[in-house]
Amino acid sequence: MKGHVGNRHQRARHWVPPIWEFVLVCIVGIALIFTTQRLARMPGDAVSQAMRAAADTMQVAMDTLATHRTEHGPAIDPGTDINRTGLIGTFYSPLTTTVGNLEAKRTTTNPNMAAMLVDLLTEAGVKAGDFIAVGASGSFPALILATISAAQTLQARVGLIVSLGSSQFGANIPEFTWLDMERILVEEGVFASQSVAASLGGDLDVARDLSGDVRSQLREKVSTFSLALIHESDLVRNVQQRMSIYRDAASGERIAAFVNIGGAWANMGVDASILTALPGVIELDDLPTEGVRGVMHAMAAEHVPVIHLLNIKELVVRYGLPWDPSPLPTPGQGSTKTARDGEQTLWPAMAYLAVVVIWLGSVALRRSLLRRRVIPIDTLGD
């Protein structure tokens, strides 16, 4: 009897789990590794194809504008527009409203920005036939190109309201504003529609910081393009007017998403909390009072997903796109990862870690119980 007990203790010290448990844990690990690789490699066939198609469209749009500037002017400055995209403005012009970062402007001319917008719009739930409201300053014409390219690829309709004032190196050349770029792209068949309205932009959205002559020229340009002019310095009424224009353009359909491009006063409002908003699809839960709200807040109040395109460095880091590249990547070249790829590939790793921890814990527990002779050896698969 005594020898029998001693033998049981000896066996407890050297007990190992049955081989089938180890094999099962390995199989689960291999399955999760294949799942992780698949998710990292492809966000989905349809989305992946749309991302590439949108990048192709943006490249065509840039080539069209660059060719026009080469043949008809205004001349491209190779010192600032090092990739000769035709989308980089000048350091200063009568349309310049604020300072701007040249490297950030050049970064947005990567055609794969349109691929990023496909992912953002898809994340926001946009589908074919949906209406997308877009509010943009003239500071980032390349991001407007990217947004429209992505929307057209997804077969979504776009209602764009653009502010004509621009920061440095944006669409700040008086004879080559966004409206001029848009006209060329529509005439060449690259884009299907034009903006639904425009404002002067700048201080209080009525360009108080620009000269009277420039304001007159901008109003005349808006009239020439047969667009509605938003000229309202009261923030509440300005936002209401914009929301009304978007609803009319949507023709009774729901607004599937609102895309904010740049830092226009009317779109962002004047509450300091908006300055902390990260780029991408954002949630604006704690809405400020109506008197300081911008269109972003008004859309959020109506449960419309908001896509915020500002803070370019943070944006490209999240999406694995290069900063100020030269030469520019071709469509599909380099990373086109989505912001969700990290989450998609993280959960299989976390799941496998949990499986291993639980299994090792069960092994330790069964060895401990065996040492205490709480359970019979015969039940441990020895």
Residue 196 lies in a domain: yes
Asked if residue 93 is part of any domain, the answer here is: yes
Does residue 363 share a domain with residue 251? no
Task: Kindly state whether residues 372 and 270 are assigned to the same domain.
Answer: no
Domain boundary among 319, 337, 368: 319
Residues 28 and 53 placed together within one structural domain of the fold? no
Is the same domain home to 25 and 63? no
Flag whether pLDDT at 380 surpasses 50. Answer: no
pLDDT at 41 over 50: no
The residue assigned the tokens 């108080």 is 208
Residue 29, domain member (yes or no): yes
User: What is the C-alpha separation between 137 and 199, in angstroms, rounded?
Assistant: 9
Q: How far apart are the first and last CA of the chain?
A: 20
Quick: pLDDT tens for 314-330: 999 989 999 999 999 99
* Residue at which a domain ends, from 271, 301, 319: 319
* Domain identity same for 206 and 314: yes
- Quick check: 335 pLDDT over 60? no
Same domain assignment for residues 184 and 139:
yes
User: Residue 331 domain-assigned?
Assistant: no
Same domain flag for 362 and 294: no
Angle (CA) 92-200-58 rounded to 5° is: 70
pLDDT tier at 31 (50, 70, 90 boundaries)? confident
Q: Are residues 32 and 130 in the same domain?
A: no
pLDDT for 338 beyond 50: yes
Residue-wise pLDDT for 343-352, tens only, equals: 555 666 777 7
Does 50 lie in the same domain as 33?
no
Please state the pTM of the whole predicted model.
Answer: 0.80
User: Would 369 be classed as within a structural domain?
Assistant: yes
Span 45-89, pLDDT tens digits:
678 899 999 999 999 999 999 999 999 999 999 999 999 999 999
Answer whether residue 304 is part of any domain: yes
Order of all β-strands in the sheet with 197-199: 228-230, 197-199, 157-163, 131-137, 255-261, 306-309, 280-282
Mind listing the pLDDT tens digit for each residue in 184-219?
999 999 999 899 999 999 999 999 999 999 999 999
Examine residue 191 and state whether it is found in any structural domain, yes or no.
yes
Same-domain status, 373 and 241 = no
- What pLDDT is stored for residue 7 in this prediction? 57
Domain tally, the chain: 2
Q: What is the pLDDT averaged over residues 93-101?
A: 96
Beta strand 228-230 with 255-261 is unpaired
Q: Report how far residue 332's alpha carbon sits from residue 372's, in angstroms, rounded to the nearest whole number.
A: 62
Report the share of the chain in percent with pLDDT over 70: 86
Residue 131: closest CA among 278, 266, 298, 245: 245
Which is it for strands 255-261 and 131-137: parallel, antiparallel or unpaired?
parallel
Domain that holds residue 24: 17-40+345-380
Give percent above pLDDT 90 in the chain.
72
Report yes or no: 43 and 340 within 8 Å, Cβ to Cβ.
Answer: yes
Q: Do 130 and 24 share a domain, yes or no?
A: no
Could you report the per-residue pLDDT of 253-267, keeping only the tens digit for each? 999 999 999 999 999
pLDDT at 8 over 60: no
How would you write the chain as a 3-class SS string? CHHHHHHHHHHHHCCCCCHHHHHHHHHHHHHHHHHHHHHHHCCCHHHHHHHHHHHHHHHHHHHHHHHHHHHHCCCCCCCCCCCCCCCCCCCCCCCECCCCCHHHHHHCCCCHHHHHHHHHHHHCCCCCCCEEEEEEECCCHHHHHHHHHHHHHCCCEEEEEEECCECCCCCCCCCCCHHHHHHHHHHCCCCCCCCCEEECECHHHECCCCCHHHHHHHHHHHHHCCCEEECCCCHHHHHHHHHHHHHHHHCCCCEEEEEEECCCHHHHCCCHHHHHCCCEEECCCCCCCHHHCCHHHHHHHCCCCEEEECCHHHHHHHHCCCCCCCCCCCCCCCCCCCCCHHHHHHHHHHHHHHHHHHHHHHHHHHHHHHHCCCCCHHHHCC
Answer whether residue 351 is part of any domain. yes
The Cα–Cα gap between 85 and 103 comes to 14
Averaged pLDDT for residues 172-181: 97
Q: pLDDT category, 339, cuts 50, 70, 90? A: very low
Q: Do 219 and 284 belong together in one domain?
A: yes
